[in-house]
Amino acid sequence: MAGHAAGNRVPAVSGPAPGIDGFRTPRAACLLAPNPSPMTLEGTNTWLIAEPGSPSVVVVDPGPDDEGHLRRVHAAAAAGGRRVAKILLTHGHLDHSAGAARLAELTGAPVQAADPAARLGPEGLADGDVITAAGCEVRVVAAPGHSADSVCLLLPADGALLTGDTVLGRGTAVIAADGNLGDYLRTLARLRDLAGEREIGLLLPGHGPVLADPAGTLEYYLSHRAERLDQVRSARAAGARTPAEIVAMIYADVDPAVWPAAEWSVRAQLDYLDEP
Ligand SMILES: [Zn+2]
Protein backbone atom coordinates (compact mmCIF):
# COMPACT_ATOMS: atom_id res chain seq x y z
CA MET A 1 0.00 0.00 0.00
CA ALA A 2 2.76 2.43 0.93
CA GLY A 3 4.34 2.26 -2.51
CA HIS A 4 1.58 4.26 -4.11
CA ALA A 5 1.73 6.99 -1.52
CA ALA A 6 5.50 7.31 -1.41
CA GLY A 7 5.65 10.17 -3.90
CA ASN A 8 2.50 11.88 -2.76
CA ARG A 9 2.25 14.82 -0.42
CA VAL A 10 1.00 13.13 2.70
CA PRO A 11 0.53 15.82 5.33
CA ALA A 12 1.69 15.54 8.89
CA VAL A 13 -1.06 14.03 10.98
CA SER A 14 -1.73 13.68 14.68
CA GLY A 15 -4.48 12.58 17.02
CA PRO A 16 -5.93 9.18 17.88
CA ALA A 17 -6.54 6.27 15.51
CA PRO A 18 -6.76 7.42 11.87
CA GLY A 19 -10.08 8.66 10.56
CA ILE A 20 -11.95 8.74 13.77
CA ASP A 21 -12.82 11.38 16.27
CA GLY A 22 -10.08 13.95 16.79
CA PHE A 23 -8.03 13.03 13.73
CA ARG A 24 -6.50 16.09 12.13
CA THR A 25 -4.41 17.26 9.25
CA PRO A 26 -2.97 20.77 9.36
CA ARG A 27 -6.28 22.23 8.09
CA ALA A 28 -8.94 19.54 8.61
CA ALA A 29 -10.26 18.01 11.83
CA CYS A 30 -12.76 15.18 12.30
CA LEU A 31 -15.63 15.10 14.77
CA LEU A 32 -17.39 11.72 14.74
CA ALA A 33 -21.19 11.74 14.96
CA PRO A 34 -22.82 9.17 17.28
CA ASN A 35 -24.71 7.31 14.53
CA PRO A 36 -22.85 4.02 14.04
CA SER A 37 -24.49 1.31 11.92
CA PRO A 38 -23.50 -1.29 9.33
CA MET A 39 -23.98 1.41 6.67
CA THR A 40 -22.30 4.32 8.48
CA LEU A 41 -19.44 2.34 10.08
CA GLU A 42 -18.40 4.16 13.31
CA GLY A 43 -20.71 7.04 12.38
CA THR A 44 -20.60 10.08 10.12
CA ASN A 45 -17.35 12.04 9.99
CA THR A 46 -18.03 15.76 10.31
CA TRP A 47 -15.02 17.75 9.07
CA LEU A 48 -13.95 21.21 10.23
CA ILE A 49 -11.67 23.04 7.80
CA ALA A 50 -9.63 26.13 8.55
CA GLU A 51 -6.22 27.62 7.95
CA PRO A 52 -4.48 27.66 11.34
CA GLY A 53 -5.15 31.03 12.94
CA SER A 54 -8.10 31.82 10.68
CA PRO A 55 -10.97 33.69 12.37
CA SER A 56 -13.48 31.46 10.59
CA VAL A 57 -14.06 27.79 9.82
CA VAL A 58 -15.91 25.68 7.25
CA VAL A 59 -17.99 22.68 8.36
CA VAL A 60 -18.38 19.78 5.93
CA ASP A 61 -21.25 17.33 6.54
CA PRO A 62 -22.86 18.26 9.88
CA GLY A 63 -24.19 14.68 10.08
CA PRO A 64 -27.50 13.56 11.60
CA ASP A 65 -29.85 15.90 13.42
CA ASP A 66 -28.33 15.02 16.79
CA GLU A 67 -28.39 17.99 19.17
CA GLY A 68 -25.39 16.81 21.20
CA HIS A 69 -23.25 16.30 18.11
CA LEU A 70 -24.28 19.60 16.55
CA ARG A 71 -23.57 21.51 19.78
CA ARG A 72 -20.17 19.82 19.97
CA VAL A 73 -19.45 20.76 16.33
CA HIS A 74 -20.56 24.32 17.04
CA ALA A 75 -18.35 24.53 20.13
CA ALA A 76 -15.30 23.15 18.29
CA ALA A 77 -15.91 25.45 15.35
CA ALA A 78 -16.38 28.50 17.58
CA ALA A 79 -13.30 27.78 19.70
CA GLY A 80 -11.11 30.86 20.02
CA GLY A 81 -13.93 33.14 18.87
CA ARG A 82 -14.08 31.76 15.33
CA ARG A 83 -17.25 31.99 13.29
CA VAL A 84 -18.60 29.36 10.90
CA ALA A 85 -18.32 30.82 7.40
CA LYS A 86 -20.01 28.03 5.48
CA ILE A 87 -21.57 24.60 5.86
CA LEU A 88 -20.86 22.32 2.88
CA LEU A 89 -22.57 19.01 2.07
CA THR A 90 -20.84 16.22 0.13
CA HIS A 91 -24.37 15.03 -0.75
CA GLY A 92 -27.92 15.14 0.55
CA HIS A 93 -28.22 11.75 2.26
CA LEU A 94 -29.64 12.33 5.72
CA ASP A 95 -26.75 10.84 7.70
CA HIS A 96 -24.66 13.72 6.27
CA SER A 97 -27.21 16.49 5.91
CA ALA A 98 -30.06 16.13 8.44
CA GLY A 99 -28.23 18.30 10.99
CA ALA A 100 -27.47 21.09 8.50
CA ALA A 101 -30.54 23.22 9.21
CA ARG A 102 -29.99 23.09 12.99
CA LEU A 103 -26.27 23.87 12.62
CA ALA A 104 -27.15 26.77 10.32
CA GLU A 105 -29.51 28.01 13.02
CA LEU A 106 -26.81 27.72 15.70
CA THR A 107 -24.12 29.41 13.59
CA GLY A 108 -25.90 31.64 11.10
CA ALA A 109 -23.88 30.04 8.28
CA PRO A 110 -25.34 29.23 4.86
CA VAL A 111 -25.52 25.63 3.61
CA GLN A 112 -24.05 24.90 0.18
CA ALA A 113 -24.83 21.66 -1.66
CA ALA A 114 -24.99 20.42 -5.24
CA ASP A 115 -28.69 19.67 -4.86
CA PRO A 116 -30.71 22.92 -4.65
CA ALA A 117 -33.17 21.17 -2.30
CA ALA A 118 -30.41 20.67 0.29
CA ARG A 119 -29.20 24.31 0.27
CA LEU A 120 -29.91 27.06 2.77
CA GLY A 121 -28.82 30.17 0.94
CA PRO A 122 -28.16 31.10 -2.67
CA GLU A 123 -24.92 29.25 -3.38
CA GLY A 124 -24.49 25.71 -4.66
CA LEU A 125 -21.54 23.39 -5.26
CA ALA A 126 -20.68 22.78 -8.91
CA ASP A 127 -17.78 20.99 -10.52
CA GLY A 128 -14.76 23.30 -10.76
CA ASP A 129 -16.02 25.78 -8.17
CA VAL A 130 -13.24 27.14 -6.00
CA ILE A 131 -14.42 28.12 -2.54
CA THR A 132 -12.21 30.49 -0.61
CA ALA A 133 -13.16 30.52 3.05
CA ALA A 134 -11.52 30.17 6.45
CA GLY A 135 -8.19 31.06 4.83
CA CYS A 136 -8.38 27.92 2.68
CA GLU A 137 -9.07 27.08 -0.91
CA VAL A 138 -11.51 24.22 -1.43
CA ARG A 139 -12.06 22.90 -4.95
CA VAL A 140 -15.31 21.14 -5.85
CA VAL A 141 -15.03 17.90 -7.83
CA ALA A 142 -18.39 16.58 -9.03
CA ALA A 143 -18.57 12.90 -8.09
CA PRO A 144 -21.91 11.47 -9.25
CA GLY A 145 -22.39 7.75 -8.70
CA HIS A 146 -23.02 6.89 -5.03
CA SER A 147 -25.76 9.49 -5.42
CA ALA A 148 -26.52 11.85 -8.28
CA ASP A 149 -25.64 14.89 -6.15
CA SER A 150 -22.33 13.68 -4.68
CA VAL A 151 -19.28 15.93 -4.73
CA CYS A 152 -15.77 15.50 -3.41
CA LEU A 153 -13.96 18.49 -1.91
CA LEU A 154 -10.25 18.96 -2.58
CA LEU A 155 -8.16 20.77 0.00
CA PRO A 156 -5.03 21.36 -2.08
CA ALA A 157 -2.95 22.86 0.75
CA ASP A 158 -3.19 19.55 2.62
CA GLY A 159 -3.22 17.32 -0.47
CA ALA A 160 -6.45 15.93 0.96
CA LEU A 161 -9.74 14.97 -0.67
CA LEU A 162 -12.97 14.83 1.33
CA THR A 163 -14.83 11.98 -0.33
CA GLY A 164 -18.23 11.83 1.38
CA ASP A 165 -19.67 8.41 0.57
CA THR A 166 -17.87 8.10 -2.79
CA VAL A 167 -14.98 6.36 -1.04
CA LEU A 168 -15.34 4.99 2.50
CA GLY A 169 -12.59 4.44 5.04
CA ARG A 170 -13.24 0.71 5.12
CA GLY A 171 -14.90 -1.74 2.76
CA THR A 172 -16.46 -0.26 -0.35
CA ALA A 173 -19.21 2.26 -1.06
CA VAL A 174 -22.66 1.36 -2.37
CA ILE A 175 -24.64 2.77 -5.23
CA ALA A 176 -27.70 4.31 -3.59
CA ALA A 177 -31.18 4.38 -5.12
CA ASP A 178 -30.41 7.83 -6.50
CA GLY A 179 -27.01 6.77 -7.84
CA ASN A 180 -25.74 5.35 -11.12
CA LEU A 181 -22.98 2.80 -11.67
CA GLY A 182 -21.80 4.18 -15.01
CA ASP A 183 -21.40 7.61 -13.40
CA TYR A 184 -19.68 6.03 -10.41
CA LEU A 185 -17.10 4.21 -12.54
CA ARG A 186 -16.32 7.46 -14.39
CA THR A 187 -16.00 9.29 -11.06
CA LEU A 188 -13.62 6.66 -9.64
CA ALA A 189 -11.46 6.82 -12.79
CA ARG A 190 -11.33 10.62 -12.57
CA LEU A 191 -10.37 10.56 -8.89
CA ARG A 192 -7.72 7.91 -9.60
CA ASP A 193 -6.26 10.22 -12.26
CA LEU A 194 -6.25 13.11 -9.76
CA ALA A 195 -4.47 10.87 -7.26
CA GLY A 196 -2.04 9.74 -9.95
CA GLU A 197 -1.19 13.36 -10.69
CA ARG A 198 -0.18 13.54 -7.04
CA GLU A 199 -2.68 16.24 -6.21
CA ILE A 200 -4.11 13.97 -3.51
CA GLY A 201 -2.09 12.23 -0.82
CA LEU A 202 -4.88 11.50 1.65
CA LEU A 203 -8.58 10.63 1.45
CA LEU A 204 -10.84 11.96 4.23
CA PRO A 205 -14.01 9.86 3.96
CA GLY A 206 -17.52 10.50 5.24
CA HIS A 207 -17.34 7.28 7.27
CA GLY A 208 -14.45 5.26 8.65
CA PRO A 209 -10.73 5.96 8.91
CA VAL A 210 -8.68 8.14 6.58
CA LEU A 211 -6.87 6.49 3.68
CA ALA A 212 -3.21 7.30 3.01
CA ASP A 213 -2.98 5.54 -0.36
CA PRO A 214 -5.54 7.25 -2.61
CA ALA A 215 -4.26 5.79 -5.89
CA GLY A 216 -4.19 2.27 -4.47
CA THR A 217 -7.60 2.66 -2.85
CA LEU A 218 -9.19 3.93 -6.07
CA GLU A 219 -7.58 1.12 -8.10
CA TYR A 220 -9.02 -1.32 -5.58
CA TYR A 221 -12.48 0.26 -5.88
CA LEU A 222 -12.35 0.03 -9.67
CA SER A 223 -11.17 -3.59 -9.67
CA HIS A 224 -13.75 -4.47 -6.99
CA ARG A 225 -16.51 -3.03 -9.20
CA ALA A 226 -15.25 -4.95 -12.24
CA GLU A 227 -15.17 -8.12 -10.13
CA ARG A 228 -18.72 -7.57 -8.87
CA LEU A 229 -19.95 -6.98 -12.42
CA ASP A 230 -18.35 -10.29 -13.45
CA GLN A 231 -20.06 -11.97 -10.49
CA VAL A 232 -23.44 -10.56 -11.50
CA ARG A 233 -22.91 -11.82 -15.04
CA SER A 234 -21.99 -15.26 -13.64
CA ALA A 235 -24.93 -15.31 -11.19
CA ARG A 236 -27.28 -14.58 -14.08
CA ALA A 237 -25.66 -17.30 -16.15
CA ALA A 238 -26.20 -19.66 -13.16
CA GLY A 239 -29.91 -18.85 -13.14
CA ALA A 240 -30.27 -16.06 -10.54
CA ARG A 241 -32.87 -13.60 -11.77
CA THR A 242 -34.02 -11.15 -9.09
CA PRO A 243 -31.67 -8.72 -7.32
CA ALA A 244 -32.34 -10.61 -4.05
CA GLU A 245 -31.31 -13.93 -5.62
CA ILE A 246 -28.17 -12.36 -7.02
CA VAL A 247 -27.29 -10.75 -3.67
CA ALA A 248 -27.71 -14.04 -1.80
CA MET A 249 -25.37 -15.67 -4.30
CA ILE A 250 -22.59 -13.10 -4.56
CA TYR A 251 -22.67 -11.19 -1.26
CA ALA A 252 -22.35 -14.32 0.87
CA ASP A 253 -19.06 -12.87 2.22
CA VAL A 254 -20.72 -9.64 3.40
CA ASP A 255 -22.63 -8.87 6.62
CA PRO A 256 -26.32 -9.68 5.86
CA ALA A 257 -27.24 -6.37 7.55
CA VAL A 258 -25.99 -4.56 4.43
CA TRP A 259 -27.75 -6.89 1.96
CA PRO A 260 -30.64 -4.44 1.41
CA ALA A 261 -28.06 -1.84 0.36
CA ALA A 262 -26.25 -4.46 -1.71
CA GLU A 263 -29.53 -5.08 -3.48
CA TRP A 264 -29.50 -1.44 -4.60
CA SER A 265 -25.97 -1.98 -5.87
CA VAL A 266 -27.09 -5.08 -7.76
CA ARG A 267 -30.01 -3.18 -9.27
CA ALA A 268 -27.50 -0.53 -10.37
CA GLN A 269 -25.29 -3.24 -11.86
CA LEU A 270 -28.20 -4.81 -13.72
CA ASP A 271 -29.17 -1.37 -15.06
CA TYR A 272 -25.58 -0.83 -16.15
CA LEU A 273 -25.28 -4.26 -17.81
CA ASP A 274 -28.62 -3.83 -19.57
CA GLU A 275 -27.86 -0.32 -20.83
CA PRO A 276 -27.94 -0.35 -24.62
ZN1 LIG B 1 -24.66 8.66 1.10
- How many CB atoms are closer than 10 A to CB 226? 11
Residues 6+ apart with CB under 8 A from 167: 173, 191, 203, 205, 211, 217, 218, 221
- Report the separation in Å between the CA atom of 120 and the middle of ligand 1, taken as the mean of its atom positions: 19
Report yes or no: 77 and 107 within 8 Å, Cβ to Cβ. Answer: yes
Length of the chain measured in residues? 276
Report yes or no: 58 and 86 within 8 Å, Cβ to Cβ. Answer: yes
Task: Tell me the pTM.
Answer: 0.88
- Report the separation in Å between the CA atom of 95 and the middle of ligand 1, taken as the mean of its atom positions: 7
Which helix (H) or strand (E) segment is 246 a member of?
helix 243-250
- Report the separation in Å between the CA atom of 165 and the middle of ligand 1, taken as the mean of its atom positions: 5
3-state helix/strand/coil string of 191-244: HHHHHHCCCCCEEEECECCCECCHHHHHHHHHHHHHHHHHHHHHHHHCCCCCHH
- Report the separation in Å between the CA atom of 54 and the middle of ligand 1, taken as the mean of its atom positions: 30
Report yes or no: 173 and 90 within 8 Å, Cβ to Cβ. Answer: no
- Report the separation in Å between the CA atom of 113 and the middle of ligand 1, taken as the mean of its atom positions: 13
- Report the separation in Å between the CA atom of 228 and the middle of ligand 1, taken as the mean of its atom positions: 20
Per-residue pLDDT of the chain (276 residues; tens, 9 = 90+): 333 333 334 444 444 444 489 999 999 999 999 999 888 999 999 999 999 999 999 999 999 999 999 999 999 999 989 999 999 999 999 999 999 999 999 999 999 999 999 999 999 999 999 999 999 999 999 999 999 999 999 999 999 999 999 999 988 888 888 899 999 999 999 999 999 887 899 999 999 999 999 999 999 999 999 998 999 999 999 999 999 999 999 888 888 888 887 888 888 899 999 987
Report yes or no: 154 and 199 within 8 Å, Cβ to Cβ. Answer: yes
